[in-house]
A and B are shown apart, each in its own frame.
Chain A
Amino acid sequence: MSYSDKVLDHYNNPRNVGSFAKDDPSVGTGVVGAPECGDVMKLQLRISDDGVIEDAKFKTFGCGSAIASSSYVTELVKGKKIDEAMAIKNTVIVKELNLPPVKIHCSVLAEDAIKAAITDWKKRKGDTREAAAAEPAKAHKG
């Protein structure tokens, strides 16, 4: 299988790799996917009090298309209001990265990561009504 130039570019030069401090109240964290499926994405968004995404960081375990999808999403959401970001559809990612049908799940995962991160941020802000909709993965110290 060959990869599109844009996938290769994001894979070779991923944008915004890294992590924000988890206890920062302005940061929402979304972790989606599962190791046994071969894809785990962690997307973190720093969101201002008035609901604008100021910064984004990601870490991804997965194939090149999964890495590219999450890298692209960090660029896509920056500067957007949270309701705009919530409305981002995976098809935007598919189109931008020219993903083949077998890789569409990578874009779905990236869409889910945005929603999970924003939901987490809302929950931290105390808005539990909306947070009930999509709960991010829970990690327990072992």
Chain B
Amino acid sequence: MVKTPIYMDNHATTPCDRRVLDAMLPYFTDKFGNAASRNHSFGWEAEEGVDKARNQIANLVGAKSKEIVFTSGATESDNLAIKGIVEFYKDKGNHIITCVTEHKAVLDSCRALERQGKATVTYLPVDKYGMVDPDAVRRAITDKTVLISIMYANNEIGTIHPIAEIGKIAKEKGVVFHCDAVQAVGKIPVDVEKDGIDLLAMSGHKIYGPKGVGALYVRSKGPRVRLTPIIDGGGHERGMRSGTLNVTGIVGFGAACEIAGHEMAAEAARLTELRNRLQAGIFERLDEVYVNGHPTERLPGNLNVSFAYVEGESLLMGISDIAVSSGSACTSATLEPSYVIRALGINEELAHSSIRFGIGRFNTAEEVDYVSERVSKEVKRLREMSPLYEMAKDGVDLKSVQWKS
């Protein structure tokens, strides 16, 4: 018997790994110094912890340690990258290229700049698998383009973008390339050199590290990327991000990166197997189930599924002992389903029926089997209650119905 509730929402956040916590603990109490204190051992000790973490993080993404700028999380990293570049390069141009399925931290940073009249933004569409076309990126570049911002892998549907191709185009055209790699770092190989990435946003808590810490990789050579800080103060992090360093968080983030790097190959294979097992378990029990996202180019632990004729939020309610996430945003005032799922061009009813499973380090095959059985049972119950399922079974084409809402 599996222990419930089961946590299978590892794209939202992950539990802190015990090994990470152990690395952090001394920095709360004995090694509590301010890493910026240059004239006593307490400061040096804290700085040593930060330096080690900087190396661990840099190693995981093929960067140099001095290129890592610590932040409060990936949202801040995205803000710093986008707003910092636009401000710094304002004499060169004001055009940003991004994509409709980006995280809100990217989209809303772009929108804020548009609103302030500081930038014009091209939002590229995605194909039915949620992938952006590198040629579309190339075509969108103008002589005013100062930034391309495309995520490594999508947080809802797991689709991995052709980052190396986009990086190559950016380099050719001399445009800075920012990549929100929150879901990819530590899960799949990310290499800022091979991928041609100039700015890379990362987060601690998505890779079994603590919340409240993240980083922005800022390329130092070929080309040297410069940006205007969004937080001013003591000039920490080479002036790019002032504020006393979150030493405990940074130490934990570093430890999390080292563990993720060591275990990546084996863990990715294990997660892929579990994901396929979950998918097979659901598909053998139910008809009219559809996978959202790319069939092969996707994150190992990600499965996003639409269960036709069943509304996502009600399904979540029925499986309350399983923590997953719904693409339907029925709780928000807009009543609109996820903008990522909608961008795939699937019909609205299916968009309201999507569930995201995020399998992680601590999930087991037993849990996966429990989830596929439990979810399938609930979908069947809700379909018996669904007028849409009844109409479809009666041969009514739902598209031909004139709905009265």
Which of B385, B387, B389, B395 meets A142, CB within 8 Å? B395
> How far is B335's CA from A62's CA once the two chains are assembled, in angstroms?
11
Chain A 49-91 residues near chain B, CB threshold 8 A: 59-64, 66-67
Given A3-B317, A66-B314, verify A31-B349 contact (CB < 8 Å).
no
A40 close to chain B: CB less than 8 A: yes
> How far is B313's CA from A1's CA once the two chains are assembled, in angstroms?
11
By a CB distance below 8 angstroms, the chain B residues around A38 are: 311, 313, 328, 330, 335, 337, 352
> How far is B396's CA from A40's CA once the two chains are assembled, in angstroms?
15
> How far is B306's CA from A35's CA once the two chains are assembled, in angstroms?
14
> How far is B403's CA from A136's CA once the two chains are assembled, in angstroms?
9
Which bucket holds chain B's interface residue count?
Answer: 35 or more
A21 close to chain B: CB less than 8 A: no
B333 close to chain A: CB less than 8 A: yes
Inter-chain contact total with CB atoms closer than 8 Å:
108
By a CB distance below 8 angstroms, the chain B residues around A102 are: 331-333
A129 close to chain B: CB less than 8 A: no
Chain B residue nearest to A71 in the complex (CB)? B385
A102–chain B nearest beta-carbon distance, Å: 6
Chain A residue nearest to B330 in the complex (CB)? A63
Which bucket holds chain A's interface residue count?
Answer: 35 or more
Q: Is the CB of A61 within 8 A of B309?
A: yes
By a CB distance below 8 angstroms, the chain B residues around A66 are: 311, 314
By a CB distance below 8 angstroms, the chain B residues around A19 are: 390
A14–chain B nearest beta-carbon distance, Å: 6
Q: Is the CB of B384 within 8 A of A17?
A: yes
Q: Is the CB of A137 within 8 A of B403?
A: yes
> How far is B233's CA from A105's CA once the two chains are assembled, in angstroms?
48
Q: Is the CB of B310 within 8 A of A63?
A: no
B269 close to chain A: CB less than 8 A: no
> How far is B196's CA from A72's CA once the two chains are assembled, in angstroms?
59
**Top 4 A-B residue pairs of the complex, sorted by shortest distance between their CB atoms:** A142-B397, A36-B348, A34-B403, A35-B349
Query: What is the interface of chain A, defined by CB distance below 8 A to chain B?
Result: 1, 3, 8, 11, 14, 17, 19, 31-42, 59-64, 66-67, 102, 105, 116, 135-142
Query: What is the interface of chain B, defined by CB distance below 8 A to chain A?
Result: 309-311, 313-314, 317-318, 328, 330-333, 335, 337, 347-349, 352, 384-391, 395-405
